[in-house]
Structure 1
Amino acid sequence: MNIFADFNERIIKAVEALDLKDKDGGSADLSRITVEPPRDATHGDLATNAAMVLAKPTGQNPRALAEKIAEALRADADIAAVEVAGPGFVNLRLNDRYWQAHLAALIASGADYGRSSLGKGKKVNVEYVSANPTGPMHVGHCRGAVVGDALANLLSFAGFDVTKEYYINDAGAQIDVLARSAMLRYREALGDDIGDIPAGLYPGDYLVPVGQALAAEFGRGLLQMPDDEALELVKDRTIDAMMAMIREDLALLNVHHEVFFSERTLHANDAQAIRAAITDLTLKGHIYKGTLPPPKGDKPDDWEDREQTLFRSTAVGDDMDRPLVKSDGQFTYFAADVAYLEDKFARGFDETIFILGADHGGYVKRMEALAKAVAGDRLKMTVLLCQLVRLYRNGEPVRMSKRSGEFITLREVVEEVGRDPIRFMMLFRKNDAPLDFDFAKVTEQSKDNPVFYVQYASARCHSVFRQAREQLGEAAFDRQSLSKEASRLTDEGEIALIRKLAEYPRLIESAAVAHEPHRLAFYLYDLASSFHGLWNRGTDNPDLRFVKVTDRQSTYARLGLVQAVADVLTSGLALIGAEAPAEMR
């Protein structure tokens, strides 16, 4: 039901009938023909670049070719008018019958309207959040969580086979620090005086329950074990507790991952997975022994020029080669990344998408290079960076947390403003642009608050049906009855709203391909604005009201339009991860 794809096919058939030849006598390449909404809505409903992209290869004047294409399209019964504009654009205006028929099909489709087979079942891994399990989720994780989750929902709706994944960074020095911090809270739970938390350990009170649980399980037994043995036990228990807390925090935001991948599994059995991955890259000619230049700028006093095992990443697009094994035989952090990507490739993904914070900008090239080395062209790699979120309350910056004393937790934000405002507003800017989040504005009930404005449109749709049931004395309205009366919708505002609804399938596909879920939030706001506008016209003009007791057929027609708006709002908000309320209080 993508009208743009529909008319793209019609235009290609019209062009094929012209039997155009390129300068070498071969058939013209029609793959670059597109159909889009015109930039100015007054120019029509659809616009095509067909003449613009075919003129030069076929040796024709673009405007003259546009006239030929326009003449061929005028024979289409669904097209009311065709105009040639500018240097050769062809603008189409569709007749009301086409829009009415589209609305009837939309009503019949219901929740499936906009669903696409574009992805053809290709396997896509979307990895997002992946915060170190060293404490509660903070607001800095929030944007990546929403962007990743909404993108995964969008790709699934567009026909991709999507896996939502969380990479648990449960190896390395920060986990050792976490275990020592929990050990201190364990001693505290036993009644020992631990004094101030030493510098370098995690001071948050969120480790107090972990210490208490350790005391309940082991008594003073951990203190009687060798340190390394005790710390391994504490490490296991603490990571489990932190991940349980992280899952709870994410659930508050309606974020649920299907796979939680532990970095420690890569280091298990003498780092067998890492060694195998490095061996694979070695056999492919990407590994060598060598030295790296010192960091840019002044050479550090302690710089030592030692031979290391290096990944020749400059040969596959990186700006410098990357160490995998240090001179002392220890694996670098990046070595685990090699094994992790090898694992994803072995699981059969066609594409892997990483959602990372803005501070990971330097990470992009090495990961793209790694994907080329591991899989060549068989694995598409995409890295999306999320810029910072700045918190405000009535225009004043918010910096301090009531609970941690160091950062604002995700839980605090959800508890104060609710899940839906967060999810919607985190998408109301493109991910690579900074975002200002004001607690007061996102809970304000006005048009200036986008999430309220969109959800209010949903509530209004339901209120129309409540009014109709009451005034017409009917318990329910079936979709087939509503769709039958679509031909009665002829008002300019009604047709304009159908046109806006018809953009949804194209929006789904384009946003999925571009990996830009923010487009969905923008579209829903525009759709809500169109619907509210039509509502307001009915307030001023009784003939345009959705429910007219004296004209049941027109009422059914307009209820069909309202049903379609409700369906698209519900669908779009679900992809964002928010509710489409039936009423608002």
Structure 2
Amino acid sequence: MPISDPLETLMNIFADFETRIRKAVGAVLGTDAPDLSRIAVEPPRDAGHGDLSTNAAMVLAKPLGRKPRELGETFAEALRGNADVEAVEVAGPGFINLRLKPAYWTNHLAEVLERGLDYGRAAPTGRRINVEYVSANPTGPMHVGHCRGAVVGDSIANLLAFAGAEVVKEYYINDAGEQVNVLARSVFLRYREALGETIGEIPAGLYPGDYLKPVGAALALTRRDELKRMDEAEWLPIVRDYAINAMMMMIRDDLKRLGIEHEVFFSERSLHARNGGNASRIAETVAALQERGIVYQGTLPPPKGQLPEDWEDREQTLLRSTEVGDDMDRPLVKSNGSYTYFAADVAYFADKFARGFDEMVYVLGADHGGYVKRLEAVAKAVSAGRAEASVVLCQLVKLYRDGEPVKMSKRSGDFVTLAEVVEEVGRDPVRFMMLYRKSDAPLDFDFAKVTEQSKDNPVFYVQYAHARAASVFRQAQGAGIEVPADAALADRERLALLADEGEIGLIRKLAEYPRLVLAAAEAKEPHRVAFYLYDLAQLFHAQYNRGRDVPGLRFVNPDEPRLTLARLGLVRGVASVVASGLKLIGADAPDEMR
């Protein structure tokens, strides 16, 4: 479902020309015009072919019963009369390529400057989106494996908000499973250790990490030996709650190091808890769906292949998920009468839907690929198609140091924490590099490469572009040029002095930004922003370096004050878009690099 109507995003030149081309085509065809909604405008694959390319003739040829190239020539003739169009050509099987006048680009730069950091931001759409991400088990500090999902989820939320949605960032605390009982027993062991007992080797099945030692020591300080006098049935819930709170404080601190703060922390246990002696929220959800006929009593066919030893053919409480796109109906109740994890998923979605969200985004690890269909089915079943679920999968991160892989194992306690990674290389390199691959592709994170100050390190290269822009303004001030405010830099008459192909090329790249961020938000692919920023930085650095070889192309030329101010407007536009993109990623835009 689109986040916003791109035609409402006035800064989007591609949407602007979609409107113009549809009007021109409609005028040519008159009452014979078919549906024009499939007409699209994109950048040509080869920049040498022009500034914009449209498929108008390609998509309308069949409904009109005409040849694409012939129809393209007819449309091209109509488009040549557009005041902002310099040239129109029909290429290949019928693509129409447009080249725009330089004045169009310099006027667009004025809009970039006038909008500042809001350039590309869409108007509010009224659409409410919940983005749930990280949601690691509260059994220890976060490691670099959690890091990628955290950064991807946070950046998706930033993008969706920039695209006009009302966004809530949410963390689901998995505090209802057996793993938190294991955590409690592990902390209780460290508690006994803190009271002076010799505990020996950590028993198999418990968490051995040293991070639990201060938790046990703090528990001993507050409870002394009180818990030792209790049976496990008494001390387990006490220690479990204490340990979960301690772990969540640690996780919150880890996330803050990445610049991540969730607005909602939702407890899975709250779904299982009874409301004042009444049914749990899971039970209420299951009952409500049963009344609608979505939940039923039935049997499932045996799994394909060799039957597991614990499989039993029995009547179960099932969700009719196959009717809404899943590949099997899903059990909601175990043979012992307790609810399945899937039942909690259903109740959790119902809770979000009741809170008024139109879309629920789940950022999950690649090992949760089987959840895609079932969560989409849950959305359709619970909301009757009024809300949707979108699942983003994140592949593993392979960590390297000096070319050697770093092993991580949470259970053995031998792992590299997120805090250690951020402390060593900094928040910005971590966030940027976690996005420098599509989330469903594996990612290699090399400590040496992400701190290298070179073109081969994308985050350095992009941040250096912003720092270099700031240095250009310092050069101008040092040369005695009075630099006006950004609004004054947007003088259209003065910006029209920008005529070099490199300068116009930079403006063209800036003009791609609104379309890029909207598409990245709709696809939930924040890596597109990182790639775009690198390409923009590359163009900017190239233009700066051209000025070293050709003095007449320098951004600052005291002998040409008006041209200098026009070029400073271009530099400010680049700096503004770089800062905007880095903010979406969650990184800073420095004025100096040290």
Give the TM-score, by structure 1 length.
Answer: 0.96
Aligned with residue 392 of structure 2, among 384, 391, 400: 384
| 2:404 matches 1:399 | no
1:157-197, Cα deviation, whole Å (9 max, x unpaired): 01011111100001111111111111111111111222211
Matched-pair identity in %: 68
Aligned with residue 329 of structure 1, among 337, 344, 355: 337
Deviation (angstroms), 1:323: 1.3
Aligned with residue 534 of structure 2, among 525, 530, 534: 525
Deviation (angstroms), 1:224: 2.4
Specify whether residues 43 and 473 from structure 1 end up closer, same or farther in structure 2 by C-alpha distance, changes over 3 A only: closer
| 2:488 matches 1:481 | yes
1:220-272, Cα deviation, whole Å (9 max, x unpaired): 11122342222111111111110000000011111111111000111111651
Judge conservation of contact 1:128–1:145 (CA < 8 Å) in 2.
yes
d(CA) in 2 for partners of 1:581, 1:381: 37
Deviation (angstroms), 1:495: 0.5
Q: Secondary structure at the match of 1:574?
A: helix
Judge conservation of contact 1:20–1:28 (CA < 8 Å) in 2.
no
| 2:57 matches 1:51 | yes
| 2:562 matches 1:556 | no
| 2:430 matches 1:425 | no
In structure 1, stretches of 5+ residues that fail to align are: none
Q: Secondary structure at the match of 2:168?
A: strand
Specify whether residues 402 and 130 from structure 1 end up closer, same or farther in structure 2 by C-alpha distance, changes over 3 A only: closer
Per the alignment, residue 90 of structure 2 pairs with 84
| 2:225 matches 1:220 | yes
Amino acid at match of 2:395: Q
Per the alignment, residue 318 of structure 1 pairs with 326
1:70-113, Cα deviation, whole Å (9 max, x unpaired): 11111111111011111111110001111111111211111111
Per the alignment, residue 265 of structure 1 pairs with 270
Deviation (angstroms), 1:125: 0.6
Judge conservation of contact 2:207–2:411 (CA < 8 Å) in 1.
no
d(CA) in 2 for partners of 1:6, 1:205: 59
Q: Secondary structure at the match of 2:326?
A: coil
Deviates more, 1:261-270 or 1:289-298: 289-298
Per the alignment, residue 241 of structure 2 pairs with 236
| 2:160 matches 1:155 | yes
Amino acid at match of 2:57: A
d(CA) in 2 for partners of 1:263, 1:107: 47
For 1:485-504, list aligned pairs within 5 A.
Answer: 485-504=494-513
d(CA) in 1 for partners of 2:527, 2:178: 36
Per the alignment, residue 517 of structure 2 pairs with 508
* Cα-Cα RMSD: 1.6
1:261-316, Cα deviation, whole Å (9 max, x unpaired): 00011111165100011012211212222333444322234433333222222222
Amino acid at match of 1:583: E
Per the alignment, residue 121 of structure 1 pairs with 126
Aligned with residue 95 of structure 1, among 90, 98, 101: 101
d(CA) in 2 for partners of 1:193, 1:13: 82
| 2:15 matches 1:5 | yes
In structure 2, stretches of 5+ residues that fail to align are: 1-10
Amino acid at match of 1:542: P
Judge conservation of contact 1:205–1:404 (CA < 8 Å) in 2.
no
Per the alignment, residue 210 of structure 1 pairs with 215
Provide the aligned length of Structure 1 versus Structure 2.
579
Q: Secondary structure at the match of 1:18?
A: helix
d(CA) in 2 for partners of 1:152, 1:300: 41
| 2:549 matches 1:544 | no
Judge conservation of contact 1:394–1:441 (CA < 8 Å) in 2.
no
1:487-542, Cα deviation, whole Å (9 max, x unpaired): 11001110011100010011011111111111100100000000001001001010
Per the alignment, residue 303 of structure 1 pairs with 311
Judge conservation of contact 1:308–1:323 (CA < 8 Å) in 2.
yes
d(CA) in 2 for partners of 1:139, 1:293: 40
Deviation (angstroms), 1:9: 0.9
Specify whether residues 346 and 403 from structure 1 end up closer, same or farther in structure 2 by C-alpha distance, changes over 3 A only: closer
1:530-575, Cα deviation, whole Å (9 max, x unpaired): 0001001001010000111111111101100000000000000000
d(CA) in 1 for partners of 2:78, 2:268: 61
d(CA) in 1 for partners of 2:121, 2:379: 30
Per the alignment, residue 136 of structure 1 pairs with 141
d(CA) in 1 for partners of 2:105, 2:314: 71
1:324-346, Cα deviation, whole Å (9 max, x unpaired): 11222111111111110110111
Per the alignment, residue 452 of structure 2 pairs with 444
Specify whether residues 130 and 301 from structure 1 end up closer, same or farther in structure 2 by C-alpha distance, changes over 3 A only: closer
d(CA) in 1 for partners of 2:300, 2:71: 59
| 2:418 matches 1:413 | no
Specify whether residues 101 and 222 from structure 1 end up closer, same or farther in structure 2 by C-alpha distance, changes over 3 A only: same
Deviates more, 1:525-534 or 1:51-60: 51-60
Aligned with residue 246 of structure 1, among 231, 246, 251: 251
For 1:171-190, list aligned pairs within 5 A.
Answer: 171-190=176-195
d(CA) in 1 for partners of 2:536, 2:419: 31
Amino acid at match of 2:171: Y
Q: Secondary structure at the match of 2:490?
A: helix
1:22-44, Cα deviation, whole Å (9 max, x unpaired): 5xxxx410100111100000000
Deviates more, 1:299-308 or 1:162-171: 299-308
Judge conservation of contact 1:252–1:419 (CA < 8 Å) in 2.
yes
Per the alignment, residue 291 of structure 2 pairs with 283
